[in-house]
Amino acid sequence: MKYCILLFALVLVAYSCKSNKVAPESNGTPQELTLAKPSKDSLSLLCARTWTHAREQSNDGKALYLDSEKHTFPTSRYRNSFEFNPDGTCRFMFFSPTDRHTMIDGRYTYVNDDLHIMSTDGQSYKSYTVIAIDEEQLLLEAKPIEK
C-alpha cells in the first residue's frame, strides 16, 4: 500500500512539473529574437489583435506580448493585456489595489516606436518603446512615464 502511495505521489509531482510553454521555440533560439523591427505598418499590426503578456518568455527588461487568440497561457494570478483601436482608443488590464482585474478604457499614442498609454481622464498609465512587432508577437521595453 505504501508503494502505491509513493507511486501516486511521484506521478502527481511529475504531472505538476510538466512544462507549460507559451510559444514554441525553434532551433533553441527564442522567438522574440526573430521579430522584425517596427515599420510604417506597425500601427496596423498593433491594432489588429489583443496582446497578452507572456511573462515566462520576457527577459532583460523587455516584455513579450503575444496575440491572445493564437496562444494559450499558463495559469497566472495576473497577466497584463492590451487592446488597441485605430482611432487612438484602447482597453487595458487594470490591476486595482483591491486585487480585482478588469479591462478599462483608455487612450494611446504611437509615434516613432514610442507607445504611451493613458486612462480616459488623461492620467499616464504606461509608456513603452516598441522593439519589434509581427502578427503574433510584440516586444516592448518599459520607459519612465514623463510628467
Q: pLDDT tens for residues 72-126?
A: 888 887 889 999 999 999 999 987 788 888 899 999 999 989 999 999 988 888 9
Taking Cα atoms as reference points, which of 36, 31, 63, 67 lies closest to residue 51? 67
pLDDT at 98: 83
Coil vs helix vs strand at 16: helix
What are the pLDDT digits (tens) for 49-65? 899 999 888 888 899 99
Cα 101 to Cα 79, 93, 98, 108, 141: the distances in Å are 9, 6, 9, 20, 23
- Residue 12 belongs to what H/E stretch? helix 2-16
How far is residue 94's CA from residue 97's CA, in Å, rounded to a whole number?
Answer: 10
Chain-centroid distance of CA 69 in Å reads 12
**How far is it, in rounded angstroms, from Cα 76 to Cα 57?**
14
pLDDT(127) > 50? yes
Domains of the chain: residue spans and CATH: 35-142 (2.40.128.370)
Would the pTM count as exceeding 0.75? no
pLDDT of residue 2: 65
Q: Is the pLDDT reported for residue 129 higher than 90? A: yes
Tens digits of residue pLDDT in 10-41: 555 455 544 444 444 433 334 444 566 676 67
* Closest among 33, 71, 36 to 52, alpha carbons compared: 71
Residue 131, number of CB atoms within 10 A of its CB: 17
